[in-house]
Amino acid sequence: MKKAKTMTVKKVNPIAAFFKDSAVKWYDWAILGALVLFCFLVFQMRDLLHTAGCSYGYLNGHVWDFYDYLAAEGIDENGLAGLHASYLPTTYFIFAIWNLPMKIFGIVKTPSAVLGLVPVMWAKLLPAIVYFMGAFVFFRIGKELGLGDRKAKIATYAYVTVPMALFGQFILGQYESFLVFSILMGTYFWLKKKPFWFVFWFTIGMTFKYTAILFFLPLLLLREKNFWKILLQFLGALSLTAVEILFYWHSPSFREYGFGIGSSATPVTSYAFNASYETGFVFTNVHYSVYLVIIALALVMAYSYFLKPKSDEEERRYAVFLPALSFAAMFCFTKWHAHWLMTVIPFWTLGAFMTRHTKIWLILELFFMVLFAAFNVQFFQFFHDEALLTHGIFKNLLPNGQPGNSFNMIELFGIVPGNIVLSLLTALILIFAVFRHPKFMVDDLTLSEERSLGWLRARYVIGLLVFIVPAMIALATSIRPANSAYSETRWEAEATVNGQEIAQPFTANGDTLKKLVFRLVTDETNEGAEMTLKIADNASGETPLYEKTYRVSDYNGGERIIVKPKLELENGKTYYLVLSAEGCKTDEAAEVMIARSAAEGLKNALVDGKEADFRLTLDVYD
């Protein structure tokens, strides 16, 4: 009897298979790699330093008292004692494992937000790896939805090159990719109809950031209509979060800071309810309002629940549409941070490749990125502008470690008023959600989109360059020596200008005052307040050489005030920048940034004619 021939199945490397037979060529990945590497090395926001720095608390053996240990022994961004961890422990634990080499080799010994280039780049590498790991999950989701192998590869390339995502991951250097990976995994198992793993991955995602619930609930309610099943899965998704909260509830620092940015006394996350209208209900002098974000989210969740898809295919199409709609319901009515957009981008990209006019969506993404760059520079001054250079490879080229000289990015991106920028971005977030409804989706999802590759490439290359080029100009002008009459870039505290005059002396080094930059800090009590700026040759500001009045409510949080008076000066003579404010409801309504550390050659400011123990954070170019 002849032996039956045995067939050997050749194992296929999934990574090699992904790059095989793809319309996306090797040079596409090479261009992306070059841009990503440049952004990875050159830019970095300080958030990562804080979070990665906190993780060393675990490596020092402090598990039970992690949050209190950081508050007592950690070093913050200004080199001062006190490091306040504002996330649940999952994020810090993951970074702690990754940062083991830094601890073993003695590169970082104590929890600190003041990190050198090597530990910063090492910490930045982990979320970057997770970012590209998510791309392979995205590819599997695309195939599961019916895009087909070839189109799913193009969509995956589109996903990893969305300029807003690249900005968040490689310019800001954020770790949102942890949450995005969890969302992608949860969505994949939802599509595979495996409820346990769907809940499992969202359970993990919830411990990174609570915004995971914006994507979990629509998917849950779209499929499950049984109350007890909904309740069980919802509680399951919250289970790990509850365990972590209970484990650290004994910690005063955790209770104070562990539920988000800011302390419990002044929760920054309360801005989620800023968009509201008064109902007329008043009780004991309290005016009760209706919060628009709650109404919008409630409507989306109700729509998800009452929706009855006619087929599995229709249900899957709604699974792309509803999470984007949920995101829009939240972020059209609240303040948001740039990197939070990364969570919705998988659904935006899938929607773009499942609906008609993919090319138009790619063009709109480029338009979004231009506005997004302006949004970052305007609304996150000192953080999302040339300040991102301070933790990259060029930081040692910057005078005093700070960029900004004769050019600041706000001078370019501040041309369009912030209200218009934010309004257009909000409109686009709604458009990206509403017009990717299943009724706008094509019947045959495998239809080729190779003709869109040109715009696909252009939208991320041009989109990134919109930010990179001005940043490089700021770097170049920072390196080039400038004729400076006064330069104090440190920001160590704030001093109020409410009801008092602060006069900062400086000595002219040239014959023309070309530019003056200082930092104003405001809060919600600034309505009706006005600040007066004078430049005079005397500390009292009498008979000023230059004078200008500012409406304080025009400024948001902490902003640069750039003045270009073109004022003739006498070389070697002492002049004074004099600031004062009136109409403030509180001292915090109008404050200026100051520095107290010793500085050679710089004189202290005067407050109402008396010498103070600080100097203004100020640059004067002549």
Q: For residue 4, what pLDDT is reported?
A: 54
Task: Flag whether pLDDT at 9 surpasses 70.
Answer: no
CA distances in angstroms from 101 to 61, 105, 109, 225, listed in the order given: 15, 6, 11, 49
Coil, helix or strand at residue 618: strand
Other C-beta atoms closer than 10 Å to the C-beta of 565 total: 17
Residue 204 phi, psi dihedral angles, 5° rounding: -70, -45
Residue 536 phi, psi dihedral angles, 5° rounding: -140, 170
| Amino acid sitting at position 10 | K
Q: For residue 11, what pLDDT is reported?
A: 64
Residue 3 pLDDT grade (very low, low, confident, very high; cuts 50, 70, 90): low
Residue 10 phi, psi dihedral angles, 5° rounding: -80, 125
CA angle 145, 130, 48 (to 5 degrees): 135
Share of the chain above pLDDT 70, in %: 93
136-140, 232-236, 596-600: which has the minimum mean pLDDT?
Answer: 596-600
CB 535 within 8 A of CB 545: yes
Task: Flag whether pLDDT at 368 surpasses 90.
Answer: yes
Q: For residue 401, what pLDDT is reported?
A: 65
Mean pLDDT of all residues belonging to the chain: 90
Residue 127 pLDDT grade (very low, low, confident, very high; cuts 50, 70, 90): very high
Task: Give the H or E element holding residue 143.
Answer: helix 117-145
pLDDT 10s digits, 22-45: 888 899 999 999 999 999 999 999
In this prediction, residues 85-90 reach a mean pLDDT of: 94
Here the tokens at position 254 are: 């955790």
pLDDT 10s digits, 145-177: 999 999 999 999 999 999 999 999 999 999 999
Task: Flag whether pLDDT at 186 surpasses 70.
Answer: yes
265-274, 420-429, 499-508, 575-584: which has the minimum mean pLDDT?
Answer: 265-274
In this prediction, residues 359-366 reach a mean pLDDT of: 95
Residues 6+ apart with CB under 8 A from 2: none
Other C-beta atoms closer than 10 Å to the C-beta of 476 total: 14
Query: Hey, what's the torsion of the CAs at 542, 547, 552, 553, to 10 degrees?
Result: 140
Residues 6+ apart with CB under 8 A from 550: 520, 530, 531, 532, 533, 561
CA distances in angstroms from 265 to 218, 245, 261, listed in the order given: 32, 19, 11
